[in-house]
Structure 1
Amino acid sequence: MKRRFLLKLLGGAGVGALTASLPIEAEASSLDNKTSVNENDRAYWVSVLHKMAAPILGNISKQQWRKNMPMEVSPTFDSRDPGVGYLEAFGRLLAGMAPWLALPDDVTEEGKLRKKLRDQALLGIQYGVDPKSPDYFTWRGPSSQTLVDAAHLALAFLRAPKALWEPLDPITKKRVVEEFKLLRKIKPNESNWLLFAAMTETFLYSIGEECAREKIDYAVNKFDQEWYVGDGWYSDGAHFSFDHYNGYVIHCMQVESLRHNIPAGGKYKEMYERAYKRMQRYAHHLERMISPEGDYVVVGRSSTYKNAAFQPLATVALENKLPEDISKGQVRAALTTILRHIYIDKTFAPSGWLRMGVVGDKQSNLADYYTNAGSMYVASLSFLPLGLPANAEFWTCAPQPWTSQKCWNAEQFPKDYYVSY
């Protein structure tokens, strides 16, 4: 079944109306949300990620993205240029796809699909920094939003340098570096935005370019020393707000900024180890937030970012560093169930864009004033475990009930206590 399913993805079978509306993409078949948990879980994850990625990468690789997919924006969208949404979609998508794209080539149907998408992504990077391309990203406009999504592209490069950075030609690399350095004129807000500046500078440091180290240090010190409120939670600035930004941005960008600066010496290693433990603790909270039915609490701003909230849990699963009392089988089962709830066919617009909402086609009112269709692709960040090979235990072990299922099915489950780090 898995072979037939992926062959359909590669061959474009059964795409019907999507073929008519998307001249370049026309590949991602309707999703099967009825298959039982653990029956081809990995194939299902790949199918969702492919349906998200194919319209974007297929179009930009032929320099027809803006032409075929006009940007869609929130009903309350502010005065910024909607064109910023293309870098939003591309950078955010690659940040989640990167570990999967970094897997070695193989002759499986999944491997062929992965190589195709990686090749398209590399062309997308090339065209996205080429001023002569019709799909050149809006790098130099007045909107500071560019910093946010350059940071996600930087995160993709850091997560998969051999797949997404090293194969680029020298001119493209030079252009990326130039665009990143021009972002230094943007003064980030005193919030998670500090980490966006830290990410672009960290990437520059990782490739041997001169970096603005003061931007890195200011960001990581703020979160390490001032904005950590305890038990795995950071405040997004001076005042705590109950939302999912610890998952969307803070934990993973703090960890990656510190991880890649360890060679610079100083306190980066000590801070990285502390940040990683805090992320593991937050991942512990995330697993317990998943209801027995596979739903989660929708709270705070940017709720349309969907399952991006689970990026820290996905990260520790990818790196085989789950908390000791959480099994791989329960995490895979829980995250798969969430995917099946969110990615029904109506969550995708006829244009190919992910809709602005959590599920389906009736929640555009949830979109914030800064939200456009490109913003939605931050949801790819929960697909990080696809970076584990298909024969990894995460994918081959039996599914297990997650914590809330154990609780409400009157089964034993571990107690939970505050941590002091």
Structure 2
Amino acid sequence: MHVSEDRRTFIDNGRPRPDWLRDDWLRLADRMLAATHRHASPGHARIDLPGAEGGYGHDVDGLEGFARTFLLAGFRIAGARGTGVDELIDRYATGLATGTDPSSPERWTRLTEHSQAKVEAASIALILDLTRPWLWDHLDPRVRERIVDYLSPVVGDDTYPRINWVWFRLVVQTFLRSVGGPWSAAEIEADLAAHDSFRRAGGWLADGPSRAFDHYSGWALQLYPFLWARMSGAAELAAGRLERYTDDLDRYLLDALALVGGDGSPLLQGRSLIYRFAAAAPFWAGVLAEVPSTPVGQLRHAADRVVRHFVERGAPDAAGLLSVGWHGPWPRLAQSYSGPGSPYWASKGLLGIALPAEHPVWTAPAEPLPIERGDVLRAVPAPGWLISGTRADGIVRVINHGTDHGFEGRARADSPLYARLGYSTATAPVLDEPGWTAPVDQSVVLVDGAGNTTHRTGMRTLFVRAEGSVGLAGSAGPVHWVRADDSGPDHGEGRAGTVRPAGRITVVSLVRGPFEVRLARVDEAVPDVARLRIGGWPGPLSRLTAILPSASESGFATHDDAGPLENPVRVPWIDHQVQVGAWTATLVTLSAEPPANPHCHVELDEDVRVTWPDGVTTRHHLTVPSQP
């Protein structure tokens, strides 16, 4: 891919590919809104979308359908400045009146009845503020009173989880404050302080106190501060904070841009992936914040590539609807809180339509993504990631030595969405039942005589850095077998269960382009351990080659209906005999084109010398703790 002289048209596989114009974005929004309107209840308070009932029940599903499409409708109304969207305004005004009417059979689930209503209330409050001159100001005073009554239980409610949910309480209380409703200065300060506690190196934000790094950092924690700061009456509350929020977003976006694949795919990692092109939201947040380090043309182009990745692959579908899935329907990608309306958080990826036609983002020259310029290598200390992208095939890979949705030293089962050693824009982690209970893909595990594989959640990050063209990262710690208990809710983290210690493993990755030299050392092993297994990337683009010592056995694990990209999913693995204190080395490759030479050479003494498949030799000194 390259950029033509007009700086707006990208050439993809020999074909001109201009960025969408604003009218193209509006057509997508209008198509989605028209499709969902066909599933509205008579009083427009609920949008009951097709699909299996969500884990929270039909009433919550209907509220979610209203609130999340209200986000998109609000962006559309605000961008039009209320002109030419009268029908849209009327529909949602009717829905607001009906949903807050306690006597209506379509009444909304209240905040005191189900916690999910707290999430949806934030979308309602945010859009009521954003569209205030065209919607709120024209509502019947009795309806406005009912809305305030509906939202008011947020005040004094200390049950909001201390994760991205703090922004739901912040947004609602800020709106209530602006319309003379109840609010608490102390609770607003507490929620802002909670957000500050999520801050990590490089502008990253963890979704709570655990090592939970995923798309929520961008589509929630980096987005809401800027939507909130623009709310009526928020300027005083945001004073002294907005500069810090902008700096965090500015630095975070340098990594987020590098995580977009050449085909526009976001990284397939973390929970709530059914929100799809919500992954474009932080780029629009960067436009709102006027971040200094990234041109608006690049931010718009990134959002364009992410949204169109899905649109061109069937999401929305022929009926204009978003299913529970990735490109197409794949229900297993949902969490227990997901319902048929949940995917419409994807509306956040269309935030740009709230910007008027005269905004410079719509005429700024397109600037290429990092992977459209060349190969990418970035070390990201906060999540413990090495980002390696190759322009030739457009694949972005993340080698993970720091994220597990857990805490250092606290053992539980691995989540395939967080704890694998690698994620990419071209592969999905194995998500069938064995994917949760018996890790193989992108893993280094100990295997007992019965074939049980270990989990690594609780490991310690050793280092994450780049040296020239090579990225280096390492992690170490106890590994354990887990008899998992799957009776709890699925919020994306690994399952709790009965833990049985298996030993200790140190893993070091040296990454260059599509190649990873994975060094693994068993530091301790209990007698039950039979072998050491190295698992590669899932899917047809994966290759795994033993370097030292020679493997005792190798093969493929085949999983049916285990991912949204292909079926079945095949994962290569290599087994080694366990030699405590000895290193193994494996070449792990993910590439759309098979390398001309699929081998490399590694020498290990005080330093590591690697002769890569292209013949280049690099040398690195690793500070790795000796075995206990």
TM-score class normalised by the smaller sequence:
0.7 to 0.9
Letter in 2 for 1:272: L
The answer to whether the 8 A contact 1:258-1:271 is kept is no
Distance in 1 separating the partners of 2:204 and 2:348? 19
Q: How does 1:173-184 map to 2 (within 5 A)?
A: 173-184=144-155
Aligned to 1:405: 372
Contact 1:37 1:399 in 2 (8 A): no
Aligned to 1:20: none
**Which moved further from structure 2: 393-402 or 380-389?**
393-402
| Alignment partner of 1:205 is 2:174 | no
- 1:276 is matched with 246
SS of structure 1 residue aligned to 2:123: helix
Q: 2:154 & 2:161 partners in 1: Cα distance? A: 14
Counterpart of 1:102?
78
TM-score w.r.t. structure 1 length?
0.76
1:116 to 2:116 alignment? no
Which residue of structure 2 aligns with residue 354 of structure 1? 322
User: Contact 1:91–1:150 at 8 Å: present in 2 too?
Assistant: yes
C-alpha deviation, 1:352, in angstroms: 5.8
Kept in 2: contact 1:60–1:127 (CA 8 A): no
CA-CA distance at 1:313 after TM superposition: 1.4
Cross-structure match for 2:192: 220
**What's 2:310 paired with?**
342
State the 1:104 CA deviation.
Answer: 4.7
Contact residue 129 and residue 176 of structure 1 kept, 8 A: yes
Q: Which sits farther off after the overlay, 340-349 or 188-197? A: 340-349
Change (3 A) 1:264 1:337: closer
| C-alpha distance 104-354 of structure 1, shift in aligned 2 (>3 A) | closer
Q: Distance in 1 between matches of 2:241 and 2:324?
A: 36
Q: 1:262 to 1:166 in 2, by over 3 A?
A: closer
Deviation at 1:342, TM superposition (A): 0.7
Residue 344 of structure 1 contacts residue 360 of structure 1 at CA under 8 Å; is this kept in 2? no
Corresponding residue SS for 2:223: helix
Aligned residue in 1 for 2:21 = 41
| Distance apart, 1:193 and its partner CA | 1.6
Identity of aligned residues (%): 26
Taking the aligned partners of 1:158 and 1:64, their CA distance within structure 2 comes to 20
Aligned residue in 1 for 2:331: 364
Residue ranges of structure 2 left out of the alignment (5+ in a row): 1-14, 376-390, 393-465, 467-628
Residue 362 of structure 2 corresponds to residue 382 of structure 1: no
| Counterpart-to-counterpart distance in 1, 2:145 and 2:318 | 37
1:88 and 2:59 correspond = no
Question: Quick one: structure 1 residues 367 and 43, their matched pair in 2 at CA, closer, same or farther if it must change by over 3 Å?
Answer: same
The one-letter amino acid paired with 2:298 is Q
Instruction: Note the alpha carbon deviations across 1:292-342, whole angstroms, 9 max, x for none.
Output: 22222121111111111232211222x261433x33333333322222221
Match of 2:292 in 1: 323
The one-letter code matched in structure 1 to 2:170 is A
Secondary structure of the structure 1 residue equivalent to 2:182: coil
TM-score if structure 2 supplies the norm length? 0.53
Whether 1:297 aligns to 2:273 is no
- CA distance in 2 between counterparts of 1:214 and 1:346 reads 46
Match of 2:34 in 1: 54
Cα pair 1:61 1:123 within 8 Å, conserved:
no
Does residue 168 of structure 2 align to residue 196 of structure 1? yes
Which one-letter code corresponds to 2:165 in the other structure? W
Work out whether 1:148 is the aligned partner of 2:119.
yes
Q: Is the 8 A contact 1:328 1:397 kept in 2?
A: yes
Q: Is the 8 A contact 2:249 2:291 kept in 1?
A: no
Partner of 1:31: none
Structure 1 residue 348 displacement after superposition: 4.0
Shift of 1:355: 0.2
Tell me which moved more, 239-248 or 296-305: 239-248
- Structure 1 residue 269 displacement after superposition: 0.8
8 Å CA contact 1:347, 1:359 repeated in 2: yes
* Correspondences of 1:229-248 after superposition (within 5 Å): 229-248=200-219
DSSP 3-state at the match of 2:200: strand
Task: Pick closer, same or farther for the CA change 1:212–1:58 going to 2, 3 Å.
Answer: farther
Change (3 A) 1:400 1:93: same
Counterpart Cα distance in 1 of 2:281 and 2:352: 10
TM-superposition CA deviations, 1:9-62 (whole Å, max 9, x none)? xxxxxxxxxxxxxxxxxxxxxxxxxx9643753222112212222233465485
1:299/1:259 CA distance change after superposition, 3 Å: same
* SS of residue matched to 1:342: helix
Question: Take 2:40 and 2:144, find their aligned partners in 1: how far apart are those partners?
Answer: 18
Pick one of 293, 300, 312 that aligns with 1:332: 300
C-alpha spacing 1:282/1:82, structure 2 compared with 1 (3 Å): farther
Distance 1:246 1:222, change over 3 A: same
- How far apart in 2 are the matches of 1:137 and 1:120? 16
Q: Counterpart in 1 of 2:561?
A: none
* Residue deviations 1:89-109 (CA, integer Å, cap 9, x gap): 222233344343123558xxx
SS of 2:240's equivalent in the other structure is helix
Contact 1:147-1:196 at 8 Å conserved across structures: yes
- Give the Cα–Cα distance (whole angstroms) in 1 for the partners of residues 337 and 298 of structure 2: 35
Deviates more, 1:122-131 or 1:213-222: 122-131
1:175 is displaced (CA, Å) by 0.7
Aligned partner letter, 2:240: E
The 3 A distance-change label for structure 1 pair 151 and 64 is: closer
* Bigger radius of gyration: 2
* 2:135 counterpart of 1:135: no
Give the alignment's Cα RMSD to 1 decimal: 3.1
Q: Distance in 1 between matches of 2:190 and 2:27?
A: 40
Q: Is the 8 A contact 2:301 2:368 kept in 1?
A: yes
Q: 1:159 to 1:407 in 2, by over 3 A?
A: farther
Q: 1:390-401 maps to which residues of 2 (within 5 A)? A: 390-401=357-368
Q: Distance in 2 between matches of 1:155 and 1:64?
A: 19
User: 1:113-172 CA distances to partner (integer Å, 9 max, x unpaired)?
Assistant: x34323322222222222344432222663211001101111222333223322222111
Task: Sort the Cα spacing of 1:278 and 1:160 in 2 relative to 1 into closer, same or farther, 3 A.
Answer: farther
Structure 1 counterpart of 2:143:
172
Contact 1:281–1:323 under 8 Å retained in 2 = no
Contact 1:295 1:338 survives alignment (8 Å): yes
Aligned to 1:18: none
Change in Cα spacing, 1:104 to 1:311, as seen in structure 2 (3 Å) is: closer
In the alignment, the residues of structure 1 paired with residue 262 and residue 363 of structure 2 have an alpha-carbon distance, to the nearest angstrom, of 22
Aligned residue pairs total 364
